[in-house]
Amino acid sequence: MWTDTHCHLDASEFDADRDAVVARARAAGVSQIVIPAVVAGNFERVRALAHAHGYSYALGIHPLYVMQAREEDLGRLDAMLTACRDDPRLVGIGEIGLDFFVPGLDAATQQHFYLAQLKLARRHDLPVILHVRRSADQLLGGLRRVGLTTGGIGHAFNGSRQQADAFLALGFKLGFGGTVTFDRSLQIRRLAAELPEEALVVETDAPDIPPQWLYRTAEERAAGATSRNEPGELPRIGACLAGLRGWTPEQAAAITTRNARAALPRLAALAPGSGSHG
């Protein structure tokens, strides 16, 4: 059974058919999904979805949204983490991090929210799920500065081997998803093939980062074609990873699920597909 370590199941793209999306994922063999928050306003929603469907969630403020965030949102995060301390489905703090690819984001504001959330992770003894986009070195610097020891996942990792090794040395796993299915993604595919097996977890980032078979050109999108990713695509993505590693898909599922549970230890206590409500 597969574990999708990063899926935005709360996204509006799923509003019309969310239950069907979940059913397809289960039918495909995806037994666990981690739903990360991106703004303070969706903390309750990701928690409710995790409980409704037997999944897990993380709470955090995404770097693409910190320009609209307020200082009191950090207080809301702290309070929610305290209130949910004993919730077994709360597995980490995320999605947090830094993004130096998207224009118009103030670096100082991003750093402020990133470091503050790392300190909350240290205080609440939770791993983190990191957004890594042209920011690996700065993220590593923040982890060392705060002294975070809980590790976590570098989501959609696209850095160098040296940066990958630095994250691994700090107790992190690295997330691979739809990008690994593209032949032209040479660096990511090389990393996926060569990193130690205990480094790898798989993810969809659905509805984003569609795999190669869902990719649409700009012309196709302009004509109305869509390329929504779904968690049910994870086994096929995982099979691409298996091919790069010389594994069977079953081995890939077992290894990456074991790694996900090491990165986010509370996952281990969640029975696959259990339907706790609360």
The single residue listed with the structure tokens 């995404």 is 62
Would you say 6 is a known binding-site residue?
yes
Residue 186 has pLDDT above 50, yes or no: yes
The model's pLDDT over 263-278, given as tens digits with 9 standing for 90+, comes to: 999 999 996 544 444 4
Q: What is the pLDDT, as a whole number, of residue 216?
A: 85
* pLDDT at residue 27 greater than cutoff 90: yes
What was the pLDDT predicted at 268? 95
Q: Which of 30-44, 110-124, 206-220, 260-274 has the lowest mean pLDDT?
A: 260-274
Residue numbers of the domain that contains 134: 2-269
Distance CA 102, CA 246 (A): 35
pLDDT of residue 132: 97
CA angle 102–104–108, rounded 5-degree value: 100
Query: Is 212 a domain residue?
Result: yes
**144-170 b/e (C-beta count within 10 Å ≥ 16 → b):** eebebebbbbbbbbbbeeebbebbbeb
Establish if 274 belongs to a structural domain. Answer: no
112 is annotated as contributing to ligand binding? no
**How far, rounded to the nearest angstrom, does the alpha carbon of residue 67 sit from its chain's CA centroid?**
21
CA torsion through residues 70, 18, 228, 32, sign: positive
Whether the predicted pLDDT of 148 surpasses 90: yes
Per residue in 73-112, pLDDT (tens digit) is 999 999 999 999 999 999 999 999 999 999 999 999 999 9
Please list, in sequence order, all residues whose beta carbon lies within 8 angstroms of the beta carbon of residue 190, skipping any fewer than 6 positions away.
none
Q: Is 73 annotated as a binding residue?
A: no
Q: Are 155 and 175 in contact (CB under 8 A)?
A: yes
Tell me if 260 is assigned to some domain. Answer: yes
**How high does pLDDT run on average in the chain?**
95
Q: What is the pLDDT of residues 237-272, one digit of tens each?
A: 999 999 999 999 999 999 999 999 999 999 999 965
pLDDT at 86: 97
* Percentage of residues in the chain having pLDDT higher than 90: 92
Over 80: is that where the pLDDT of 163 sits? yes
d(CA 1, CA 226): 28
Check the annotation: does 124 bind a ligand.
no
Of 240, 276, 235, nearest in space to 257 by CA: 235
The answer as to whether 164 is a domain residue is yes
- Predicted TM-score (pTM) of this structure: 0.95
Q: Would you say 273 and 48 are in contact if contact means Cβ atoms under 8 Å apart?
A: no
Does residue 123 belong to any structural domain of this protein? yes
CB 241 within 8 A of CB 252: yes
State the pLDDT at residue 272: 58
Total domain count, the chain: 1
CATH number at 49 reads 3.20.20.140
Q: Work out the percent of the chain whose per-residue pLDDT is above 70.
A: 97
Asked, for residue 275, whether it belongs to a domain, the answer is no
